[in-house]
């Protein structure tokens, strides 16, 4: 009985650690990307003031680079979130159990014909 409590505590502790790491990752993502987008867009506005001559393709390239950081990092954050909040796909486990039972019955019938 005591071992079960210790095992449950360890599992819960690991789950809490995973949640903490995800929320830290999310916090850093939001803070860094707000700063990147804010200063990046301010830089583009500064370039568009026409105080200097800028290549016509430079601004769209710069905008893509500014927005690619949150997009690509967001994909990584999404993958991290899915690994932490992994949905339990009960229908897959049920399907596996049904298939296992079906195959076992077929094998039994092959080995023990009536």
Structure tokens at 53: 């001559």
Q: Is pLDDT above 80 for 55?
A: no
Query: pTM, whole model, 2 decimals?
Result: 0.68
As a whole number of angstroms, the distance between CA 72 and CA 64 comes to 12
**Per-residue confidence band for 108, with pLDDT thresholds at 50, 70 and 90:** confident
When pLDDT is cut at 50, 70 and 90, the band that residue 8 belongs to is: confident
What pLDDT band is residue 50 in, cutting at 50, 70 and 90?
low
What are 5's two structure tokens? 């409590």
Q: How far apart are CA 104 and CA 46, in angstroms?
A: 71
| Higher-scoring residue by pLDDT: 95, 10 | 10
């Amino acid at each position: 009985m005591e071992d079960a409590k210790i095992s449950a505590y360890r599992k819960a502790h690991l789950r809490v650690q995973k949640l903490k790491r995800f929320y830290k990752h999310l916090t850093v993502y939001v803070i860094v990307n707000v700063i990147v987008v804010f200063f990046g867009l301010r830089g583009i506005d500064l370039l568009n003031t026409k105080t200097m001559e800028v290549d016509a393709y430079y601004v769209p390239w710069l905008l893509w680079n500014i927005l690619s950081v949150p997009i690509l990092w967001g994909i990584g954050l999404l993958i991290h979130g899915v690994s932490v909040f992994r949905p339990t796909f009960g229908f897959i486990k049920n399907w596996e159990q049904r298939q296992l039972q079906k195959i076992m019955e077929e094998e039994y019938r092959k080995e023990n014909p009536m």
